[in-house]
């Protein structure tokens, strides 16, 4: 495995769930972590907990805020070894009854956020051995799910984007990886009753945030010439989306 201590990582959606777990695991490996999320209070508290971490409040769907985030990375670190695109939004509704503002929120966070952050990251990753762009997609990026049509559309777009990006950046030695989780015990599902989500996840013995974060860390620790391109991570009992 590659030594990752001393490298620099940016984690979006770091205020809770998978992002928070990933930040903790990376920091435990000696990685200098930049925490980004809309919740300034939460990431400031996490930055105090993690040695060498810094926090920048950012809505990844806002291009100006993303630009300011990467200016911080550039000024403080000069380069970037890992971008973990984790921030995302999901709303449940039959498409015919869905809210167009919720469409926009999902597209802004799940797609534009990935595009903005990735484009800003690439110049900081060139000539960095083992550099990696890793994004959390979803099993919904492979299979449509009833009631999650717009969410699934954003995740299918993310899969296609990474497939093309891999072909562009691979010759430069920049790895492009996707993690596609199934059911996870997180606060995901903004308009779904918590008891309904909990029942479904309990039935499946859903993954926890650490399960997914560990996949990220192990993918990043692979030798620079090894790219775990697509990682579908499912609870054993989940046989369908």
pLDDT confidence band for 73 (50 / 70 / 90): very high
- pLDDT digit string (tens) for 2-60? 999 999 999 999 999 999 999 999 999 999 999 999 999 999 999 999 999 999 999 99
The torsion angle over the Cα atoms of residues 77, 116, 187 and 36, rounded to 10 degrees, is 20
What's the pTM value of the predicted model, to 2 decimals?
Answer: 0.94
Would you please indicate which residues are annotated as catalytic (active-site) residues?
151
Rounded distance between C-alpha atoms, residue 196 and residue 91, angstroms: 14
Rounded distance between C-alpha atoms, residue 200 and residue 4, angstroms: 37
CATH of 8-181+209-233, one of 3.40.50.720, 3.40.640.10, 3.40.50.300, 3.20.20.140: 3.40.50.720
Least confidently predicted of 2-6, 61-65, 159-163, 191-195: 191-195
- pLDDT digit string (tens) for 163-180? 999 999 999 999 999 999
Rounded distance between C-alpha atoms, residue 8 and residue 46, angstroms: 17
Rounded distance between C-alpha atoms, residue 227 and residue 54, angstroms: 28
């Amino acid at each position: 495995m590659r030594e990752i201590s001393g490298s620099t990582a940016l984690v979006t959606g770091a205020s809770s769930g998978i992002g928070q777990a990933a930040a903790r695991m990376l920091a435990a490996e000696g990685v200098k972590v930049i925490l980004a999320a809309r919740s300034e209070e939460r990431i400031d508290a996490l930055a105090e907990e993690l040695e060498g971490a810094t926090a920048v409040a950012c809505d990844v769907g806002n291009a100006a805020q993303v630009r300011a985030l990467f200016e911080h990375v550039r000024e403080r670190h000069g380069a970037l070894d890992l971008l973990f695109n984790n921030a995302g939004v999901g709303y449940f509704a039959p498409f015919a009854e869905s809210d167009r503002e919720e469409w926009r929120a999902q597209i802004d966070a799940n797609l534009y956020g990935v595009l903005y952050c990735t484009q800003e990251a690439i110049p900081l990753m060139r000539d960095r051995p083992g550099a990696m762009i890793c994004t959390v997609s979803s099993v919904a990026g492979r299979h449509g799910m009833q009631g999650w049509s717009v969410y699934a559309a954003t995740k299918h777009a993310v899969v296609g984007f990474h497939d093309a990006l891999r072909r562009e950046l691979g010759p430069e030695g920049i790895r492009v990886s996707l993690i596609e989780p199934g059911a996870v015990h997180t606060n995901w599902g903004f308009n779904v009753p918590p008891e309904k989500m909990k029942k479904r996840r309990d039935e499946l013995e859903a993954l926890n945030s650490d399960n997914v974060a560990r996949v990220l860390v192990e993918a990043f620790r692979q030798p620079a010439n090894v790219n775990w391109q697509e990682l579908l991570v499912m609870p054993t009992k989940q046989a369908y989306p």
